[in-house]
Amino acid sequence: MTIAENPVRNGVDTATLFATIDAVKGDPDIAKFRFRATNTWMSGTHNRSTIHGFHGAKQEMNHREPFTFDADHPPVLVGTDNGPTPVEYVLHALAACLTAGIANIAAARGVNLTAVRSVVEGDIDLLGILGLSDSVRNGYRQIKVTFHVEGDADDATLREIVEQSRRRSAVYDALTNPTPVEVEVVTF
C-alpha cells in the first residue's frame, strides 16, 4: 500500500510526517528545538508550571493554549495533594513519549493499531531525598514500563515497533543516559 492510498493511519498524517522528515533533511536547523516550562511556588510542596511557548523550526511558537499543571506531595509526604508528585510526572512523560513513537512508527510501517495501553512503575527509596542515606540515590532505583499493544500485525512486528520507539525516545534517553542540567540562581 502506498502512502497516497492512506495518508492518515492511526491518526498520524503520514504524508505530512514524511514531508517533515524530508524538510529536515534539506535543512537540519529546522530540527533544533528549545522547550520551556515556567514554574511558580504556591505554598509548601505545591507549585504550578505553565507550558506555552517554545522555539523550533527557526521560530518562536506557542501551543494553542497555555497548559498549566500543579505538582504537590500527598499527605504521607507532608504535602496537600494538589497534584501528583514531580516524580510521577516523569513516569507520565516516559509513557507518553514511547506511546507517541509507537503510533508514528506503526503508521510509517503501514500497521493499524487498535489499542496501546501502558503502566509505568517507578521504585524509589526516599532515604535519599530525606537525607538519611548517602548510599541510596535520590531518584528512581528502577522504572518498569509494561505495554499492551494491539493491531493488524503479528506479535514480532508489534514488538519491533515498540523497540524502535524505545530506541528513538527522547524521554527514555533523558532518563537512561546522563543529561547535563545547569541550575542558576537569582536572588532579589
Per CB under 8 A, contacts with its own copies among 62-81 are 63-64, 67, 69, 71-74, 76-81
Q: At what angle do helices 155-167 and 86-108 cross, to 10 degrees?
A: 120
Number of residues that bind its own copies (CB under 8 A): 130
| The one among 6, 112, 126, 152 contacting its own copies by CB under 8 A | 126
Report yes or no: 144 and 121 within 8 Å, Cβ to Cβ. Answer: yes
Report yes or no: 7 and 14 within 8 Å, Cβ to Cβ. Answer: yes
Nearer to its own copies, 2 or 135 (CB): 135
Q: Rounded distance, CA 159 to CA 151, Å?
A: 11
By CB under 8 A, is residue 109 in contact with its own copies? no
CB of 185 to its own copies, least distance (A): 5
Q: Rounded distance, CA 12 to CA 53, Å?
A: 23
By CB under 8 A, is residue 104 in contact with its own copies? yes
By CB under 8 A, is residue 99 in contact with its own copies? yes
By CB under 8 A, is residue 45 in contact with its own copies? yes
By CB under 8 A, is residue 36 in contact with its own copies? yes
Q: Rounded distance, CA 66 to CA 98, Å?
A: 24
C-alpha cell recorded at residue 187 = 536572588
By CB under 8 A, is residue 95 in contact with its own copies? yes
Q: Residue 62, Cα to own-chain centre: how many angstroms?
A: 18
Nearer to its own copies, 5 or 182 (CB): 182
Taking alpha carbons only, the member of 5, 12, 2 closest to residue 112 is: 12
175: number of Cβ within 10 Å: 18
By CB under 8 A, is residue 112 in contact with its own copies? no
By CB under 8 A, is residue 25 in contact with its own copies? yes
Binders of its own copies in range 3-22 (CB under 8 A): 10-13, 16-17, 20-21
